[in-house]
Amino acid sequence: MIINYTCQNGRLVFELISEEDDPQTERIFTIFKTTTQVELASNKFEIHLPSDWTIESVHPDVLALAMMAAIYPFIGSTIRLPLGVSKSFHNIVKRVTQKQVLPINENLSPRKASAHAVPALTYSGGVDSTAAAILLPENTHLFYFDRMIPSDGMRTLLNQEAAYYACDSMSAIGRTVHKIKTDMQYIRKPVGFNSYLADAVPALLLADYYGFDTVGHGQTLDIGYQVGHLGFKDCKETKVGNPWFRLLQAVDLTYTLPIIGLSEVTTTQIVNQSPFREFTQACSRGKVKQPCMNCFKCFRKSLLEKVMMNHPLTDRYLDQLFSIKDAQNYFNAPPPIYFSNILAYITSHYNGHHQEMLSLKKKTRGDVLQIDWMNKWYSKSQEFIAPKYRNDIKNKILKYVDSMNAEDIQTMKQSFSEAYFKQG
């Protein structure tokens, strides 16, 4: 893949020119083990950076990593960039991904973050990234991926009002928030991110402009370790960690995933105990303080919120939730149900008589499973916190929850194992 660019007043436009061995369609692993076919749908995308940003504002190795994160499934054997990368970065990428980053600039030293550098976090306004922001130091720069809507009349359910409100509220209490406009998600069809590092591309491009020594996002245990879905996998081996964990280290931007050892249950608890609760909203389709109540996320997150707050689940409320078509699609798909563990947690707390809720309880085994591990922290995940910030984040986490013990970890690994689903 050949990458060209133009940049005027901070409006950075990348052009992609495919080479012979670059895949045009690719089966990629999305969350957990379901695969989706993605297609390269556009050979251009843009990102709006501060007006005095130029290509010299970023170390060429970081620029290369940002491009890899943006278009990963469509890179064949080689990615060719407008600026040469360090020999050391080239070699690490080759070793980790079997891909070549070219050209090489023999005179370029690898990137080193400055001693005054601070963390960067991808922030969506939702529960999980808010919990991550709470755990990171207050000088962390938060990056909102501001999705440009194409003018060609493409239909979208996306409504960013609630997210903008969350960003503005975060700024108002003194946190640094950048809303970076981009149409990067339209490179592929279906629309979306090409890798788990893709939403960090704005932070990467600005890593030397603002001075960062770590980047991260708000993925949880459920996703990072594929818990609740055909077992358990080390996060360094999942699409969340691989190859990004090692490539970020190569540019001195150690991956920091503050909540990768916490389930959605705990992130909900952390946000509920914070003043941020007032403006945090998981749904990306609703309006300010009005989630759409018509998507699977609304189904899961609003039930979880009620359970965590000990609020009653009335039949009327459950009728409304079970009428969500998007949620029914998930329940009727072959097992495992998406986020089974969270649904098991929710239903294990339900003692009413609502038929569909009871049937979901049985299906996700909320009636028999031990679920207490979801209230705790998987401490091995601290390898995904940059050493500079590790103790501080760890201490903050332990103010909210305990560490999982050996028995909790065993339950976590076995509850949704492949063996279970085969026998089911």
Q: How far apart, in whole angstroms, are the C-alpha atoms of residue 208 and residue 11? A: 17
CB of 44 to Zn ion, least distance (A): 31
* Nearer CB in complex with Zn ion: 224/291: 291
Question: How many residues lie near Zn ion (CB under 5 A)?
Answer: 6
* Nearer CB in complex with Zn ion: 167/295: 295
* Nearer CB in complex with Zn ion: 141/285: 285
Q: Which residues contact 278 (CB under 8 A, 6 or more apart)?
A: 169
First to last CA, the chain: 45
Residue 343: helix, strand or coil by DSSP?
A: helix
CB of 28 to Zn ion, least distance (A): 24
Residues 170-189 that bind Zn ion (CB under 5 A): none
Contact 308, 269 (CB under 8 A): yes
> Which region among 27-35, 293-301, 347-355, 398-406 touches Zn ion (by CB under 5 A)?
293-301
**Interaction of residue 321 with Zn ion, rule CB under 5 A:** no
CB of 127 to Zn ion, least distance (A): 13
**Interaction of residue 295 with Zn ion, rule CB under 5 A:** yes
CB of 291 to Zn ion, least distance (A): 5
Transcribe 120-140 into DSSP letters.
Answer: EEE--SSHHHHHHHHHS-TTP
Q: Which residues contact 273 (CB under 8 A, 6 or more apart)?
A: 400
Q: How far apart, in whole angstroms, are the C-alpha atoms of residue 75 and residue 22? A: 5
**Interaction of residue 159 with Zn ion, rule CB under 5 A:** no
> Which region among 105-113, 196-204, 284-292, 416-424 touches Zn ion (by CB under 5 A)?
284-292
**Interaction of residue 357 with Zn ion, rule CB under 5 A:** no
- From the number of C-beta atoms within 10 Å of its C-beta (0-12, 13-18, 19+), residue 337 rates as buried
**Interaction of residue 327 with Zn ion, rule CB under 5 A:** no
> Which region among 181-189, 211-219, 248-256, 278-286 touches Zn ion (by CB under 5 A)?
278-286
CB of 125 to Zn ion, least distance (A): 13
CB of 300 to Zn ion, least distance (A): 10
* Nearer CB in complex with Zn ion: 205/337: 337
**Interaction of residue 292 with Zn ion, rule CB under 5 A:** yes
Encoded one letter per residue, x for contact with Zn ion by CB under 5 A and - for no contact, window 235-274 reads: ----------------------------------------
* Nearer CB in complex with Zn ion: 2/293: 293
**Interaction of residue 230 with Zn ion, rule CB under 5 A:** no
> Which region among 131-139, 262-270, 294-302, 334-342 touches Zn ion (by CB under 5 A)?
294-302
Contact 381, 257 (CB under 8 A): yes
Q: What one-character DSSP code corresponds to residue 340?
A: H
* Nearer CB in complex with Zn ion: 239/301: 301
* Nearer CB in complex with Zn ion: 104/292: 292
* Nearer CB in complex with Zn ion: 25/156: 156
In angstroms, what CA-CA distances link 116 with 109, 178, 211, 370? 19, 19, 7, 45
Token representation of residue 95: 């070793």
Contact 210, 251 (CB under 8 A): no
Helix axes 127-135, 264-272, angle to 10 degrees: 70
CB of 292 to Zn ion, least distance (A): 4
Query: Which residue in 421, 414, 309, 408 sits closest to 364, CA to CA?
Result: 421
Other residues' Cβ atoms within 10 Å of the Cβ of residue 17: 11
Residues 383-422 that bind Zn ion (CB under 5 A): none
Upstream peptide bond of 190 is cis (omega within 30 degrees of 0): yes
Token representation of residue 309: 């707050």
> Which region among 73-81, 146-154, 283-291, 362-370 touches Zn ion (by CB under 5 A)?
283-291
**Interaction of residue 298 with Zn ion, rule CB under 5 A:** yes
**Interaction of residue 283 with Zn ion, rule CB under 5 A:** yes
Q: Which residues contact 87 (CB under 8 A, 6 or more apart)?
A: 104, 105, 106, 108
* Nearer CB in complex with Zn ion: 239/297: 297
Q: How far apart, in whole angstroms, are the C-alpha atoms of residue 128 and residue 136? A: 13
* Nearer CB in complex with Zn ion: 147/285: 285
Interface contacts to Zn ion, rule CB under 5 A: 283, 285, 291-292, 295, 298
